[in-house]
Amino acid sequence: MTIDGFTYVRNGIKMGYPFVNSIKSFLPLVDKLFVAVGDSDDGTKEMIQSIKDTKIHIIDTVWHEEKRKNGEIFREQANIALQQTAADWCFHLQVDEVLSEDCYDEIRRFIALADQHDDVDGLLFPFLHFWGDYDHIRNTRATHAYEIRAFKNHRNILSYGDSQGFRKYDKGILEEKGKKLTVFKTPVSVFHYSYTRNPRLMAKKSNYFHRFWHSDAWLKEHTREVDFDFNDVDKLELFQGKHPVYMQDVIAKQDWQFTYNPAKSNMSLKDRFLNTLEALFGYRFFEYRNYKRKKLNSFKSK
């Protein structure tokens, strides 16, 4: 069974993405890795080329910044890379997402299991969202607890929304609403490092990426040249596990300090109530799910 990976990046160095680390964590799993590299001016393409792995296939792309509706440019870039794949399965990571070095056998085991069932399209992975530094995670209703990152190829599956998830399009066109994928849930965590930057760089990245959702008028009103406040958050937890070996060099270069102050929580009263229910029952009520989950114990191995 073959697996192709796909991802996309633009100005990864300038924006502080751990894209090389993400790619390196990808390579042991896949047969080929397709990387859509946008029109960068900071050496991102050259940095990827310096990895010197024949599995990597770079696709040169242009980001059309006028596409500002709901982050659709990210979906477009993901689909450009996805459309190059030819393997039995596809695996997607965004360039701030990293796999652990000890997860590959488990992922392959779940892929083999799902491959036995025609009515299962893909696999769901739990996410660890790091926030402020490498010692805190954000695990609240404002984050996605799970996302689809692996799915069967050749099923008219395309990136959906702002590329966070995937849906099946019977006619292969995004104008359709698309159908949610049926998936098995895996225990393999994806390490998400979107909010682990120096506060000044985090503010720069945040201000820049707002342009892909909002108008010039909105940007003029809301853009602030101040350091990002990592305490402007609902709730954080201490991370008790270990980071992927691929992230060791990045973590060692951390050049800022973050002190979490829960007294500054911006969590709404509604979410406080729902979080209390979640703690009591171990279930996240009323959560939006861009997938249909099949329980593993509902099947017998063929």
* CATH placement of domain 3-123+149-175: 3.90.550.10
236 Cβ contact partners less than 8 Å away, ≥ 6 residues apart = 131, 132, 136, 137, 138, 260, 262
Cα 200 to Cα 132: distance, rounded to the nearest angstrom: 12
Global pTM? 0.93
Q: What is the pLDDT of residue 172?
A: 59
User: Average pLDDT in the 97-123 region?
Assistant: 97
Supply the mean pLDDT for the chain. Answer: 91
User: Average pLDDT in the 18-26 region?
Assistant: 97
Percent of residues, the chain, with pLDDT higher than 90:
71
Q: Would you say residue 298 has pLDDT above 60?
A: no
User: Average pLDDT in the 200-224 region?
Assistant: 79
User: Average pLDDT in the 2-29 region?
Assistant: 97
Q: What is the pLDDT of residue 162?
A: 80
Q: What is the pLDDT of residue 299?
A: 46
Q: What is the pLDDT of residue 98?
A: 98
Question: What token pair was written down for 106?
Answer: 């488990």
Cα 44 to Cα 9: distance, rounded to the nearest angstrom: 8
